[in-house]
Amino acid sequence: MYQRKFIVIEGLDGSGKGTQISRLAEALTNRGISLQLTAEPTLHATGGLVRDALGGITKRSAAELAGLFLADRIAHCQNPHDGIAALLESGITVVCDRYYYSSFAYQGMDLGLDWVMSANLDCPAILKPDLCIFLDVPTEVADKRISLGRTSREIFEEAETIERVRRKYFEVFGILSGTHNVKIINAARTPDEVFADVWAAASEIFDGTEK
């Protein structure tokens, strides 16, 4: 059987994460890999607080939001029933829609990266992914896709903010270079073209891990 892996899919809103996650899940399942899809914010109580803040229902400072994400991420990793650690321990591969890279990019805009990154990377309860796939699209592409697919926008979905977030992601990946396995994929192409690269990146971490 294949060793279990922890894969994170990141990208701007409008980058096509949902489509690529669905296709990756199907391909991994067809390869005989036991799989669980998960996402942040989670369905835990902390995740509900995060979603309320993102939707503009409850006003939160950048520090509060970063703290809520941190608490939600710890629960996400360590819940004894459906947490990432428990799933991996049972041999199940986890594919997660957003993880701490999003916190670094979004909350790092206003708080500075040092605090947000150290709070997550130095926390022993938070797991390090085997692979992060970042679906990259230009700001104008993300903005157009959001406009076509949504009737309302969350607090980080305005064009100017999208561009700031994209720049911050690349700053983060530069800092993490050599310590994290990050694959940046051009997602401004057809879904088939994007998935060919997504599948190549995912397959790479499974090659040679049968046992």
Where in the sequence is the domain holding 29, given as residue range(s)? 6-206
Domain presence at residue 1: no
Domain presence at residue 211: no
Residue 115, SS3? helix
Domain presence at residue 183: yes
Q: In 3D, which of 136, 143, 147 has the Cα closest to residue 160?
A: 143
Count of domains observed in the chain: 1
pTM of the model: 0.89
Domain presence at residue 143: yes
Edge-to-edge strand list for the sheet holding 131-136: 35-39, 93-97, 6-11, 131-136, 182-186
Domain presence at residue 37: yes
Q: Distances in Å between the alpha carbon of 66 and those of 52, 80, 125, 147? A: 14, 23, 16, 27
Domain presence at residue 10: yes
CATH number at residue 129: 3.40.50.300
pLDDT in tens, the chain (211 residues): 468 999 999 998 888 999 999 999 999 999 999 999 999 999 999 999 999 988 888 888 889 989 999 999 999 999 999 999 999 999 999 999 999 999 999 888 888 899 999 999 999 999 999 999 999 998 787 777 667 655 554 545 565 678 889 999 999 999 999 999 999 999 999 999 999 999 999 999 987 554 4
